[in-house]
Amino acid sequence: MPYDRPGSVAVTGMGVVTPFGIGLARLSQGLKGALPPAFLTEHPAPLSFPVVRAPLPPIDLAAALAELVPGLPDAARRTRRLAHRADPTVQAVTLAALEAWAMAGLTAGPPDPERAGIVVAAQNATTGQQYRLHEKFRNSPEWLSPAWGVGFMDSFPLGIASEVLGLLGEGMTVGGASASGNLALIQAARMIRGGDADLCLVIAPPADLSPMEYQALSSLGAIGGHSFAREPDRACRPFDRAAEGFIPGAAAAAVVLEAGEIAARRGATPRAILAGGAAALSGNGHTVPDGAAEFRAMELALRRAGLEPADVDAVSAHATSTPLGDRTEAEALDALFGPHRVAVNAPKGLLGHGLWSAGLVEAVAAILQMEEGFLHPNRNLDDPVTDRLDLVGAGPRDAAIGTMVSNSFGFGGIHTAVVIRAAIGK
């Protein structure tokens, strides 16, 4: 599939901040097992149970800008002015956006700012910060900074990215629980294919949960790690029978999508092609997984990409380390791919569950694997829930990947899949 044909959508830039560190190079090292996992155990008050999670790395904004984007001095200056006092989650997603922008070769700005849009994958992204502010607010309401008037909104990172990078086209936030990242990619691709944008920056801020969310998710039976508090690196176990619930992981990601012919005209190097994407609802507002809807999302995404299941080389599974969810996805994958036995890996075993950012982070991880010719391991997979899938083992696997499917499923019965193809003619 030539990336410059009419209707194609090319990925020309990517950026991340993950528990492995700031930037794509650190993520690549982490996926290959060259960096230690970043899970830890905390005891946040007033909870009665320990919380296992993979947090953001420390962020020194000035140092990160100097190292990550030395070719964007004006954007770095604007970022320091706008985000130097912002919450680390906002700093993280802004750094990811700048890395993606630099990779896309857009140092001089978008070719047409009014046809350059932004889609933010976000869902109640500031609950942790609100919780931390509440005690001081209750005692001294006048203490609250006026900046919180925009800071509590999911659109805040959008405004910063628009001002820093000069994007003046359409802008929006897209929320769909843990499917938000994929939904943002799908929406951005629609804008480009529909002729409403030539270029779209897709960004996803990290999840920032408060003790209230941890308590509710624990009571719901969704969050895990209770049995692994003393061994946090073993807590996240996608597709393993000892899994007991998802393990939160904080990560930010950004992707630059462009109309293929526009990218080719300006001489951009494509990293991959976003060949198709689809979403399917289960008609169920609860948290019960739905294999039929998962199957429909994957099948429709492939059909929109003009592909068959046999054309797929690997699947980046949603697999959150929840017993029922992982078994359900395994069954849906087996039903779709059958004897083709496509290779399957689960990024959350390495990164934790990024919630609304997960889909975008995992799409970036998929493209890195396609570019570098490997599949990352499935960590902590000691006793698989099925023998019907080709689950990648405990170490990375060399692989030539031409087409990859990346799944993201969210509470509320939202099921999504995107199809990513290698960029031909790089």
pLDDT in tens, 100-115: 999 999 999 999 999 9
pLDDT at 1: 53
* Cis bond before residue 46 (omega within 30° of 0): yes
pLDDT at 424: 67
Token digits for 367? 């493209």
Element (H, E) at 185: helix 180-193
Q: What is the third-level CATH fold of 9-272?
A: Peroxisomal Thiolase; Chain A, domain 1 (3.40.47)
Q: Which are the contacts of 267, defined by CB distance < 8 A and separation ≥ 6?
A: 105
Q: What are phi and psi of 13, to 5 degrees?
A: -150, 150
Q: pLDDT tens digits for 318-331? A: 999 999 999 999 99
Q: Across the chain, how many H-helices and E-strands are there? A: 14, 16
Nearest-CA neighbor of 279 among 173, 184, 172, 171? Answer: 184
Number of other residues whose CB lies within 10 A of the CB of residue 243 = 27
C-alpha Rg value of the chain to the nearest Å: 20
The pLDDT confidence band at residue 425, using thresholds 50, 70 and 90, is very low
Element (H, E) at 257: strand 252-259
Mean pLDDT of the chain: 95
CATH number, domain 274-422, options 3.30.420.40, 3.40.47.10, 1.10.287.130, 3.30.230.70: 3.40.47.10
Q: pLDDT tens digits for 110-146? A: 999 999 999 999 988 889 988 998 888 888 888 788 8
pLDDT at 85: 85
On whether the CB atoms of residues 364 and 376 are closer than 8 A, the answer is no
Residue 49 scores a pLDDT above 80: yes
Residue 264 DSSP code = H
Query: Domain spans of the chain?
Result: 9-272, 274-422
On whether the CB atoms of residues 402 and 386 are closer than 8 A, the answer is no
The pLDDT confidence band at residue 426, using thresholds 50, 70 and 90, is very low
- Token match 């959150």: residue? 320
Q: pLDDT tens digits for 3-15? A: 666 689 999 999 9
Q: Compute the average pLDDT of residues 227-236.
A: 97
Residue predicted with more confidence, 288 or 401: 401
Residue 2 scores a pLDDT above 70: no
- Token match 């193809």: residue? 421
pLDDT at 4: 64
Q: pLDDT tens digits for 149-175? A: 888 889 999 999 999 999 999 999 999
Token digits for 413? 């019965």
Beta bridge mates, 273: 10, 421
Q: Compute the average pLDDT of residues 205-222.
A: 95
Q: Compute the average pLDDT of residues 187-204.
A: 98
pLDDT at 197: 98
What angle do the packed helices 156-165 and 88-103 form, to 10 degrees?
40
- The share of the chain scoring above pLDDT 70, in percent, equals 98
- Is the fold of 9-272 the same as that of 274-422? yes
On whether the CB atoms of residues 347 and 357 are closer than 8 A, the answer is no
Q: How far is residue 342's CA from residue 384's CA, in Å, rounded to a whole number? A: 16
